[in-house]
């Protein structure tokens, strides 16, 4: 079946990202120039927030595409100059390459991460131990990834869990995850319990962070002095190699 040029352009815009994501980015692109004319200071901070949004939604759309559009618009409307962008690229090339490959790895490994976290979910019966296992996995990821990408991974895994559960309960593979109209009363109650389970799992308020030994010791002492429950896992290096 043939489709119109406009429909084909919309389908290929930002690849396979959802429609709400495409609309959000279009709103950013329209609002930014107007906001820049009104107040350049606020427009600059708005642009930073939009870049953070593209990183946080890395599993919905590879952020090099929307981030590139925002960067090109910033140059076009006069927020910065091409020469300044060139200088920043030259000064921070290593960080930019790390960020690009890091996010790309997470984006293209989405299914593998979902499989790993699913195995954790199915193998550990205790909710408390399961929450701790999720935190340890997030802590391991944080040693290689930035915090926003780790949060994006955990959110994507939770949505993936619920999506599978919802499709089984509704017997409709393409069913909207927010629509329970085709789910019978018993399955709807089970779905609500599953939502509560995921919310509880995500809201256990257990933070995991990777840092060097000295900073870890300082942080441990501060948190312990505040009476908070804290655990530190330290890797002690041999003498002469530094800490």
Is the pLDDT assigned to residue 202 strictly greater than 70?
no
Q: According to the per-residue pLDDT averaged within each range, which of 76-85, 160-169, 196-205, 233-242 is highest?
A: 76-85
Total-model pTM: 0.50
Which of 76, 107, 138 lies at the terminal end of a domain, its last residue?
107
Is the pLDDT assigned to residue 29 strictly greater than 80?
yes
Same-domain check for residues 135 and 225: no
Q: Where are the alpha helices (DSSP H) in the chain?
A: 5-12, 19-38, 40-56, 64-77, 82-91, 93-108, 110-123, 127-142, 147-170, 185-202, 213-225
32 and 77 Cβ atoms separated by less than 8 Å: yes
Mean pLDDT in residue range 105-133? 75
Same-domain check for residues 122 and 198: yes
Domain that holds residue 138: 110-204
Q: What torsion, rounded to 10 degrees, do the Cα atoms 92, 75, 64, 138 define?
A: 60
Same-domain check for residues 144 and 198: yes
pLDDT at residue 27 in the model:
92
| Nearest alpha-carbon partner for 108 in 69, 149, 77 | 149
Mean pLDDT in residue range 194-218? 68
The pLDDT confidence band at residue 201, using thresholds 50, 70 and 90, is low
Same-domain check for residues 20 and 74: yes
Same-domain check for residues 200 and 215: no
Which of 74, 107, 140 lies at the terminal end of a domain, its last residue?
107
Mean pLDDT in residue range 153-181? 66
Is the pLDDT assigned to residue 139 strictly greater than 60?
yes
Same-domain check for residues 58 and 115: no
pLDDT at residue 34 in the model:
92
Q: Count Cβ atoms within 10 A of the Cβ of residue 106 and give its class: 0-12 exposed, 13-18 middle, 19 or more buried.
A: buried
Same-domain check for residues 84 and 157: no
Q: What value does the mean pLDDT of the chain take?
A: 75
Most distant pair of Cα atoms in the chain: their distance: 70
Same-domain check for residues 176 and 222: no
Same-domain check for residues 126 and 162: yes
Same-domain check for residues 22 and 95: yes
pLDDT at residue 243 in the model:
44
Which of 107, 140, 173 lies at the terminal end of a domain, its last residue?
107
Lowest mean pLDDT among 41-50, 57-66, 174-183, 223-232: 174-183
Same-domain check for residues 84 and 39: yes
More confident residue, 84 or 107: 84
The pLDDT confidence band at residue 30, using thresholds 50, 70 and 90, is very high
Residues 86-103 have pLDDT tens digits of 888 888 887 777 767 666
Same-domain check for residues 117 and 192: yes
Domain count, the chain: 3
């Amino acid at each position: 079946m043939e489709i119109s040029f406009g429909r084909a352009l919309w389908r290929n815009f930002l690849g396979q990202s959802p429609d709400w994501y495409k609309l959000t980015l279009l709103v950013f692109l329209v609002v930014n120039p107007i906001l820049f004319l009104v107040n350049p200071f606020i427009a600059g901070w708005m642009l930073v927030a939009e870049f953070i949004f593209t990183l946080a939604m890395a599993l919905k759309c590879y952020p090099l595409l929307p981030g590139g559009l925002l960067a090109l618009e910033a140059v076009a409307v006069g927020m910065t100059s091409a020469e300044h962008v060139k200088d920043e690229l030259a000064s921070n090339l290593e960080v930019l390459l790390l960020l690009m490959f890091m996010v790309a790895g997470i984006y293209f490994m989405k299914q593998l991460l979902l499989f790993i976290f699913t195995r954790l979910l199915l193998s550990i019966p205790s909710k408390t131990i399961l929450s701790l296992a999720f935190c340890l996995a997030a802590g391991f990821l944080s040693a290689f990834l930035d915090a926003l990408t780790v949060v994006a991974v955990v959110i994507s895994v939770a949505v993936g869990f619920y999506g599978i559960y919802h499709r089984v309960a509704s017997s409709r593979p393409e069913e909207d995850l927010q629509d329970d109209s085709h789910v019978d009363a018993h399955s709807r109650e089970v779905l609500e319990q599953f939502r509560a389970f995921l919310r509880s799992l995500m809201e256990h308020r257990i933070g995991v962070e990777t840092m060097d030994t000295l900073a870890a010791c300082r942080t441990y002492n501060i948190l312990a002095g505040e009476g908070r429950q804290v655990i530190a896992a330290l890797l002690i290096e041999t003498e002469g190699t530094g800490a």
